[in-house]
A and B are shown apart, each in its own frame.
Chain A
């Protein structure tokens, strides 16, 4: 099995992905296997702005942000699998997903992405998320990487 790598600080993470606060939805990577898979963690801070409006008095993490968090974790996997000096941009190209449970603030969200197929221009990934010991999302995501000329 491929060696397990970890990125335990945001400073390390930010070397690999272009995302920045307030639109960064991973805190650390606990298990990354080059060319294969990634597991990342994100604490759902109750004071996050999106909980204030989604919804007042009944905070739930927006599903779109869960997908974004998994996409960012996948982005780390991709960037570490295909290192490049070129400036590049990452886009989600397709998503098939089932949201299994609503996600409330104050828990750690575990984000998993496993490559089904991956080349230097993008990939297709089996994705899942877990919180409080339960699956909260399962599906498949396709991502593209576009290199600047």
Chain B
């Protein structure tokens, strides 16, 4: 489980770094709110698309609304990969 969480977080950080062009997101604190990292609602939908494609899952609209920071988003994604 720990390895899977780590993999989800790494893939999420890669997607965030790609979308924002900011490599610092590979190591930024997981509790920092997305809005403070310059991640807007369009990017949240793009993260949804990237994670669905990567992990072959189908997220719900209510999940995207709960994408508040890296830590919470990883927890939501992990719920689909149990």
A residues neighboring B (CB under 8 Å): 93-94, 116-117, 119-124, 142, 144
Contacts and interface: CB of A to CB of B under 8 A. Distances in A.
Contacts, number: 38
Contacts of A117: 45, 48-49, 52, 59
A123 B64 CA distance: 11
A116 B49 contact: yes
Q: Which of A117, A121, A124 has the most CB of B within 10 A?
A: A117
A142 B61 contact: no
B41 A144 contact: yes
Contact of A120 (B48, B52, B59, B61): B61
Interface in B37-76: 41-42, 45-46, 48-49, 52-53, 59, 61, 64
Contacts of A123: 45, 49
A93 B45 CA distance: 10
Contacts of B42: 93-94, 122, 142, 144
Given A116-B49, A117-B59, A120-B61, 5 more contacts: A94-B46, A119-B45, A121-B64, A122-B45, A124-B49
